[in-house]
Structure 1
Amino acid sequence: MTTRIVIHAGFHKTGTTSVQSMLRENASVLEPHVRVFLKEAFDGLTESARAFSIDPKKKTLAAVTRAAVAFFETVDRKDPRPILMSSEDLSGHMPGRHGLECYDSAGLVMKCLSDAAFRRFGNDTDLTFYFSTRMREPWLRSTWWQNLRSTRLTDDFETYSNQFDAARSLDDILEEIAHDVAPARVTSFLLEDAATLPLGPLDPLVTLLELTELDRDAVVVLPPENVQPDLGIDAVFLALNRSELPERDVQDAKRIVRKMAQRPAS
C-alpha cells in the first residue's frame, strides 16, 4: 500500500490560517477521507524548525530530524487514508523577524521531513510538499502588518519593504526546496488565484489529496481570516511601537484597537 502524504509547510500570510480554520471546521466531513494533522499535533517539530531558522547549525538541524522522526512514528502505517500536515511554522520564523529576510532554512527542514516520511512509510511513499504563495507586494505588506501587530516593529512599510530588495523570492526558495527533497514533489498555488476557487485556499489541497469520494458541497467555506483591517490602524500601531510606553501597555492598547476594528459597522 502506497501512502499519500501532503505537507502544507508555508508560507506565512498566504491564507494558511484560513486553510487551517476550514480544516478544523470540517473535521467531521474530512475525517473519513484524510488524516489531518495541524500544528498542535507536532509542536516539537514546528518549534525545532523555528529554532533552526534563526540558528542554522548541525545541532539545531539534528533536533528537527529527531522531532520529524518522532512525529511520524506516531502515525499508523496501516491506515489507508492519505495524510495532511499543515503549519506555516514548518518553514521557520516569518521573514521580518529575528533578522530573517526569507525562508533560507526551509530546504534543509523539508529534507528532514522527507527523510523521516520515507523512513517510516517506505521509498514508494507519494510525498508532496505544498506551499501557498502570494504576489510580492501584498505578501510584504501582509508580513509588515503581522510584524507591526505582534512586535515592536518601528519601520513604516516603505522602509520595511526596502530591506527585502536583495532577498531571494519565494519562487527561488521553492526551487531550492524541490532540489533538496527530490524525489518528493514540490508544488505551489497563488493565494490570488485560490480566491476564485469553490473551496478557496483549501481547494488546491483537496485536489492534491485526490479525495474523489469527498462531497465538496458539504465542506463549509469560511471567510478569510487574519486580514489587515482597512481602517488606518496600522498608523496607530506604528505610533504605539515608536512610543516610550512599556511593552505591556503597548500590547494592551493594540488589543483594544483591534477589538474596536472588529466591531460591525452600525
Structure 2
Amino acid sequence: MRLILHAGFHKTGTSSIQNFLYQNKPTLSAEFRVLMRPKIKALCDCARGFSVNRNPLDQGLFLSEAAQALSALDPADPRPVVISAEDLSGHTPGRHRLLSYAATPALMQMLVQVADECLPGAELTFLFTTRDPESWLRSSYAQSLRATRQRLGWAAYFATLSPHADFGPVLDEIQTAVAPHHVFTAALEDSQTHPLGPATALLDLMQPSDALRAALVPVSPQNRKLPDPVLDALLHLNRSDLPKDEMRRRKADLITQALG
C-alpha cells in the first residue's frame, strides 16, 4: 500500500491544496483514497495536544487514534491513500506558548511506528509544504490576529518567532525520524507558476494517470490577505477589555467588510 502524508506546515498553501482535493475528489476517487481533517479530526486533535504537552498521556492518545485511523484502511484496496492535514504537525507556532514545530519529528515517527504495525510493508511518503520565512511569519501573524486574542504587535511577534521560521532544521529532524521513508518539500513560492497551484507538488508524488490529471480542475486561492489597517484594528480589539463574544462579533464584522 502507498500512503502519502501531507502533514504540514500551516500557512503554506495547505487550505488551497485541501480545497483542490475536495473539489476534485469525485475525479480523484477513481485512483486514490483521500482523507482530510474532517475524517481524522480526533487524530489531528491529539497531535495538537501532544505538541503542547509532550507527555505520555498525550503520546498514548495520539498512538491510539493513529492506530484506529490506519487500521480502518482496507489493505485490499489497490488505490494509494492520500492524507492532507497540517494539524498532524501539531499546533501552529505562536499559539499555546509554542515557538516552533519541535514536536513534529516525534509525531511523524509515531505515525511510521503505527503504520508499520497496522499496515505491514506500506510505502510511506511525506510531503511538507514550506514558505519564505518572513512571508510565513506575516501570514501566521495575520491568522493569529483573526483566530485568537493575539496581543503582540508585529515587531514583537517577529522577534519572538523569526528564529524558528526557517523550516530547514526541523525538516532534517523529520527525515531522520521517519527514515528510511522519504520526506519531500515544496515551497509555496514555486507553485505560483503552475496552473494547479500548490497542489502540483502533491500530485507529482501521487502520480495519477495522464487521463485523470488532465481532468482535474484548478481552484481559487484560499485565505485572502487582509489589509494592514484591518490587522491593526484586529490587534486593537484583541487588546481591548471587550467580552470574548463581543470581540469575536466585531472581528467577524471587520473581516467580512474587508473581504466583501
Kindly state the Cα deviation for residue 191 of structure 1 after the two structures are TM-superposed: 0.3
1:169 to 166, 170, 175: 166
Q: How many residues align?
A: 260
From the superposition, tell whether residues 162 and 214 of structure 1 become closer, same or farther in structure 2 (CA, over 3 Å).
Answer: farther
**More helix by proportion, 1 or 2?**
2
Q: How far apart, in 1, do the equivalents of 2:147 and 2:127 lie?
A: 26
Kindly state the Cα deviation for residue 51 of structure 1 after the two structures are TM-superposed: 0.4
- Within the alignment, does 1:155 sit opposite 2:133 as a pair? no
Q: Unaligned stretches of 5+ in structure 1?
A: none
Give the root-mean-square deviation of aligned CA atoms: 1.3
8 Å CA contact retained: 1:133, 1:191: yes
- Percent identity, aligned pairs only, is 35
Q: How far apart, in 1, do the equivalents of 2:168 and 2:224 lie?
A: 23
Which digits, 9 at most, give the CA deviation of each residue in 1:37-95, with x for residues without a partner?
A: 01111111111100000000122112111111110110000011111001000000000
1:178 to 175, 178, 181: 175
Aligned counterpart, 1:256: 253
When normalised by structure 1's length, the TM-score is: 0.94
Aligned counterpart, 2:92: 94
Kindly state the Cα deviation for residue 226 of structure 1 after the two structures are TM-superposed: 1.1
Q: Structure 2: which amino acid aligns with 1:160? A: Y
1:204 to 196, 201, 206: 201
Aligned counterpart, 2:21: 23
Q: Structure 2: which amino acid aligns with 1:55? A: N
8 Å CA contact retained: 2:4, 2:126: yes
Per the alignment, in what secondary structure is the counterpart of residue 208 of structure 1?
Answer: helix
Which digits, 9 at most, give the CA deviation of each residue in 1:147-182, with x for residues without a partner?
A: 111111111111101012443731111110111111
Q: How far apart, in 1, do the equivalents of 2:16 and 2:108 lie?
A: 23
Kindly state the Cα deviation for residue 227 of structure 1 after the two structures are TM-superposed: 2.5
Moved over 6 A (4+): none
8 Å CA contact retained: 1:4, 1:209: no
- Within the alignment, does 1:121 sit opposite 2:145 as a pair? no
Q: How far apart, in 2, do the equivalents of 1:214 and 1:22 lie?
A: 17
Aligned counterpart, 1:83: 81
